[in-house]
Structure 1
Amino acid sequence: MEVGSNLPNFPIGGEEVKIGDQTYMKVGETYYQSVKIDGKPKYEVAQVEQASK
């Protein structure tokens, strides 16, 4: 799935992950963020860069 793709429902089996001050949902290696499109909640594939330790 490409960054910026929108889904009407969140995929099953995800976990909530907080990175910085942003909260994402993660399934496998894909991160999603909650957005509203035309006033309806959707999930958008997000590009997340984590700081290296």
Structure 2
Amino acid sequence: MAAVATALMDDLDATELLRRAVAWSAAAVTQPVAGAIGTQWTALSDRVIVTAR
């Protein structure tokens, strides 16, 4: 939810909002402490592929 909230504040489009949310989630599971987000989230964001169904 934090990723979605910041994406809305940054006025990102839906694709970028999804990329950020997925990247933050992926970066969070790499951390030993709950609530922390790893600094690699930007690199992870570049690897997220969003497609239309």
Shorter-chain TM range is under 0.3
Query: What TM-score do you get using the length of structure 1 for normalisation?
Result: 0.28
Which protein is richer in helix relative to its size? 2
Which protein is richer in strand relative to its size? 1
Query: What TM-score do you get using the length of structure 2 for normalisation?
Result: 0.28
Larger RCO (CA within 8 A; separation ≥ 6)? 1
